[in-house]
Structure 1
């Protein structure tokens, strides 16, 4: 049978699959006419497809008339070697797959056994199964289904014993769990590692597609089905090439050279990986197939047409979740995927490993090889690498934005032509939005980027604010400005992340974002706009509470909570909306911890229930894991306010357990490093409260190493320096509890140097910053008293009392300030 005939069969098979089972017969009668043999061949493929559950091999092709009519052999309960078959898993076009268990009393293990279908035991197909067995025997990789054993049946037919995998196809797994873009990329990177491993063993998989890649319940990728894998150093004859073409039957994932019937190479697998990434991130395939074409015919017709950008496909798709994330695909991810889908093999990535590395660079905010090297992109690359030239480059970029703003503003004033002003405004929005988003993303969690963030705020905020009056009735422009203000606030003083220590400036930026989002939500109360409004209420509330302004913070978080209840009240509420609702409960519980503990714990426990459910659904999602660390830390804080130290310690231990794996997985992420450091120091603090300094030291020294690293790579970051001083304080307390006052003094003197080098604490600073000078002097006073240095002890203790007294009326830290004041006065009395 000629290759053209096989293409015809495959075209019809693909087209028939797109129709319901009831419509297929009429469809085949219409398109095949009197070609009875053609109808029989396509129906044979359809029968094989319908009978397959596809564990190891998806539907394969068999030549019409190759197999004689047979009665399926009942293998249930029979033994093959050391294994007993218990059930059938699926039937492919060439093989049956059975579930079996080891049955030799050595140990229990579930496996999958692959056998040729009865009637297909021809020499060529028997050899193919032997080849597959040999290929798998040479592969040992955690992301490849493992060959465990093999043998021959009593009739001499070979069989394979494979690792039994409970999982779902990778595309189904991602959609059902609503995985984030980053989580999907992580799965693809694992898959690329497996494919690269295959290539290193001089093999090509040849049929990479969603159905051949399972993800287990534990989030582990498993590559399956090496039934058409090819040894690169083995010549293949024409008949073998024809079989490969027939078996693949996946035109949507096939490379152009496969469609042309040419030999497949590692570049063919890279192309298929590109299609898979496109599907996972955009929710669609790269090409819109004309309605009049189908299968291989359609693929061939589209061979010279460039694919749609993934971001465009996602934005124009029917699924809302992909439309919401379309913006995240613009730029690097578009470029990476398009490079993998290049028509010519030489224009693609040179290896699956190279593709994985570019994806990793994108995740870390580094420049990617696939991206065109434009001016703005070069700016971002310099920011990421934070070389000496970065500051000059960023200033140039800011000046460029600022100049464009000024030019557009003057043109508006001078011309009074509304249409022209609107055109300028549109250009400003595009430039400002692109600049802010790209540079902010590059510098967000990059260690050592404080100077870049400072320049970003100082040189851009005044120009952005000038645009606010020009927003007029444009909701989209107000949304963009609100986003910018929100990010400025994060950079200025988000106390949970890296910031410039400008807490009051952050409050003002958050207020501007909130005002704009209130205007938008009033005119457009969509779920997306309400979610953004909730986020603004929440950010401002958290920062005001950290400033001890609970009288304003609590109403704001209650307003956020009301929006959250509205968002989750419907059955179609998304995981992101449930997470926002939990965030409002988390913040409310924290705010109330010092004034209404029962209500605080009730809110925190409600948030915990939601976050635990979301984490169970996406255990591989770093954001979900961070949420679990945060909720346990907040519960620990509330219990600590009630002096339930043992219970607080257990909560903080759980917080640390959740965040530690992220440090190992994302060692270059400054935000994760900072969060893990404070999770560890919280554990140490409560071990100190329970007078267990040895256990405390283990955690506090771990935290110290982390904050010192962050300070070393970002020496101009005053907040990083104060974080080191904060951890040194707890380290000094542990040594004081151990009676090692001299060692404590060394660490506490260093803490005081860092505190004194920072600007004086302001009433608008967060609570920990306002408390730090007093606490440091108090502990220094204790150390000197223990060492019998009464004059030094009195100096430091007197300084601490002076510092604490204005804070004793504070709604959040007043109780702590009073406790330290009382202890300091008692020590002073003992010295006199």
Structure 2
């Protein structure tokens, strides 16, 4: 029998077997009467874990089968814009090839999935087309996206997908902390929820279809057996035989019943169980697909916290076993309920419970009884002082169980009180583990505001409750006004919360003069007010506000024993850092006191280092802020060595924090800020090679944050600023090909600004970045384009340089002259002389930094230098 006939028989028998009940397929194949070799191959396809699916469900990157006669597409064959490089993997029905972009439009690699010869029956072609259509509808950062599609020269259908290099999600969890594992799961859940909103059910969620890249990004693959939901049928697809992978299938899949979104929720539950324990919830001893399928129907999953230590080899499970007990146990068992109606109603609801657990809030997987709410409350406050914890508990439970039951209204208000405080005090920090979590935080806090208003109305003149509300509003102001966490458009809301906190605190402070927590809340709200006043162009008024906040803290510190001063000491240091930034004002003569700023930074650092020596690792972010701000002050004073040392210490500290908590949004944001500042300072210090290290970290991180949090986030707004510094650094070290697209993105932004807000600033920045773009073009041997760009920049800069504040424009003209010297070697001496003249003229108008001083002095010595 030749190969074509063999494959036709395999195809026909395989498709016929798929129509049989799962348990009857082996007998059906053996009774077919076809060649035993064909029977064996069909049974192999049916039994293979990755091919108990439909015609295109081979695992996306399964290693090629050893007995394949050769690749369908030889290296070098073109498929439209793509050129085949070699095989990546293969399964029963399709092959996956590595391809590279070959039309010159852009450089890149992709994965090409092509249907095998002989597998072109109507049913298989329909399934292959379904996968293609599914991918075309799914534009999501955590779903591998479709790039192209067509047919080969031999008529075989193919499609081109994003190439994902990574590890299956269960393997990627090895060695990760519990929070990091849950963060990975939430990325996956977001992708599945998005597919559901597009009316698509994946139906084959398993580790090999969920890869995690080196930078921690989840990518969902292989919609080969995805099913389109019919809106008229609700969330279920029709009944009948359908493929599945037994180890991750739902009971309804095994029984051949209708499947829908609840099927994916079940499979997500299995995946999360595996991610947290390293074991499947059942079927751990199954040796055949039949046994695995039977276990889905008959075995109840063991609570992950109750697994036998002899079964689990993951050391993280032992370390976090106690943390699994309770909420995570209940979350998983709810997702894994045999009855679809008892599971989470949606992936979003499943995710919400995981997020609630991360933040210490109650989860829906168990009834919110009084005892349960109390246990969550105590858990969240175990780090508080014993007296504060006891007071909090007494406020929740009242005078005892009898009192609790007797006062229903009081019970409801107490619960609101506890939840309101903890949503704000805990959620704002814990949510930063979650990519995209700022959207969740914003939605939760919006809902909370209505509850707070109700609590305030019912509190009346109760000073204890009003003091608590002042603290909650102060924390809301911090959450909303935190430079590391919001869109630039949200500062107004933060100011409103701060003002409300100030009003409440001042109202009750006379009755509670020894309430340290109230004083702390008032001081924090005043700090937000001061920053807002500075932003509004009232720095002197802001400084008076800071002085009031500092006096309040100092008064309370005098009344507290040293063991209870920690929070107030940290707030005092924070106030000193903000005050130092006020004294670094170049535009207000009375506040232009950089030496005073340095003294305040020193005092704050001394206090924080002392607390840090006591084992308080939570102070690292505040220390990073201090070091970064002081680096800028040193740079203003021309103390480049001190500036460089602080800047490098700041961004390296941020980098270590991100490496320790790679999914922490706040830590990543701090890295963007400090690494960008460090890159600028290092370029000024004439150390571009070190600047690139910092700018690359900032650029990579801000792009991910912008993608995760959307076009309205502060990181999307910050992309052009980071791009302009990273592009400059790349150009300075000669990485022209890398620099050009980054600079182009920054230039596009400033071009829009030139149109929207005409004026000297956007004009000069566009021209300045154009100089570095020209340098990159020269490096790519694109001289004519470079000269055009340079001349455009010079036309803009010449009139700006003749203004009274034209020092920056003169420096930019000097830079353009150095690039012109490289572009026109014959006229290079004249261009260098012109650059020297521009530097000398600029020196009369403003202080020169390290890179400009080096160039000026080298030019004065007649050295043939460039940028």
What range describes the TM-score normalised by the shorter chain of this pair? 0.3 to 0.5
State TM-score, norm by structure 1.
0.47
Structure possessing the higher relative contact order (Cα contacts under 8 Å, 6 or more residues apart): 1
The TM-score, its normalising length taken from structure 2, stands at: 0.46
